[in-house]
A and B are shown apart, each in its own frame.
Chain A
Amino acid sequence: MNIIPCEQIEEKIGKLFSCTEVNGYVRIRTPYLYPDGDVIDVFLSEKNGSYTLTDLGETLGWLKTQTVAPKKSPKQRQLIADVCLNHGIELFRGMLTVRLRTADDLTEALVRLSQASVRVADLWFTFRTRAVESITDEVAELLTERQISYDYTERLPGRSGRIWTVDFHTRHPRKSSWIYVLSTGSRAAARGVAEHVLAAWYDLSHLKIGPQGLNFISLFDDTLDIWSAEDFKLVGDLSDVSFWSKPDEFLEKLAA
């Protein structure tokens, strides 16, 4: 294989962008992608001889169709503002826009706007429902915020010899705790999750014994209405039950 990099770049990168006329705009199809694989398009508009490149609100629109939340959070707004600042982009009525000062600005502005679009769409990775995050990230965030020392996903041998991975091990001046976070998106799976945690607490129950005995806490993600009273009772005999909707009560248990 023989690669002549500069020639290939010069000759071929431009061809990765294609143009079509759509509704009075020049739609420029870029080689960049939203996190789900959808292709990022930007649009060139002309008014009285001045040109603007814009995504016509597609980036924020894409984000909206991916999330449970009805509106952007203040943190998301701040992150979007940071992206715009960094790339010299104006956010106008939900549209990422760049005004072209000269004809030569087009290519540079096109890359800049495309990159901003990618960056904003990547806020998807901060969503609670993204595949690589779970409620445990939020719990970790809360513990950090309240300056409670913790370790997470520690592997502990049970009395049976089975290894259990407990979500959090917290250390408060008065007491240390092991925490399992119970979270699922499916009612059908809820009982299985509770039974798994019950088995873990039973197998690890020797860790509660002695002057340094630890609290066992079962923290239910109750943001979805999928748990039944039986699930709480199942783990309640061997651990303290807490609910993610009541973070203050959960924090009190860590100190009790």
Chain B
Amino acid sequence: MIQAEFEVLLSDNTKRVDEDISWSEDEDRSPGVEFRVEVTSDPGYPLFIKGWYNREAQTLSYALIHRGVGRIYGLDLGKDDHNPSCVYVGEKHKHSWNDLVRDKEAHVPADITAAATEPVEVWRQFCQEARISHKGTMQPPPQINLEMFL
């Protein structure tokens, strides 16, 4: 994917998620919960979003994935990132597709103000930033089972 294609895709405001979103335990029953939803758009981009929230590590990720390319846009909270320029970006960072380094470079997204422990609010802000309209609702992640993991 070239930069211009990515820019057009990202600025396309017909991208939408029509379904309600609920978090589910992952296949390993780890402390993380996840969801996956399709993103539709008028141009028919082959996109979906994966969400990952680790209730113990308190990390949160939303990744916009293009079926032909992989992740092209992703927000991470609660863990740091090291850019190819050897700069550490911080615990709130967003990866965006770039011709030169693909999705390896991240920056601090000013519009994301909610914390990793507020996945529903972060989702709202993420959608706004990525120009995705969500017609449904997002359920909060289930509470972690009180049984000890370790």
Contacts and interface: CB of A to CB of B under 8 A. Distances in A.
Interface in B94-150: 95, 102-106, 148-150
A47 B105 CA distance: 38
A61 B32 contact: yes
Given A66-B70, A93-B149, A60 B102 contact: no
Contacts of B56: 23, 25, 43, 56-57
A26 interface: no
Contacts, number: 144
A72 B27 contact: yes
Nearest to A50: B150
Interface of A: 22-23, 25, 27, 29, 33, 36-39, 41, 43, 45, 47, 52, 54, 56-58, 60-62, 64-68, 70-72, 92-95, 97, 127, 129-131, 184-188, 223-226
A98 B84 CA distance: 31
Nearest to B56: A56
A38 B67 contact: no
A229 B15 CA distance: 26
B1 A186 contact: yes
Given A47-B150, A57-B28, A130-B70, A64 B103 contact: no
Question: Which are the 10 A-B pairs with shortest beta-carbon distances?
Answer: A185-B68, A94-B28, A94-B30, A57-B30, A129-B70, A39-B80, A56-B57, A65-B63, A61-B32, A52-B150
B81 A43 contact: no
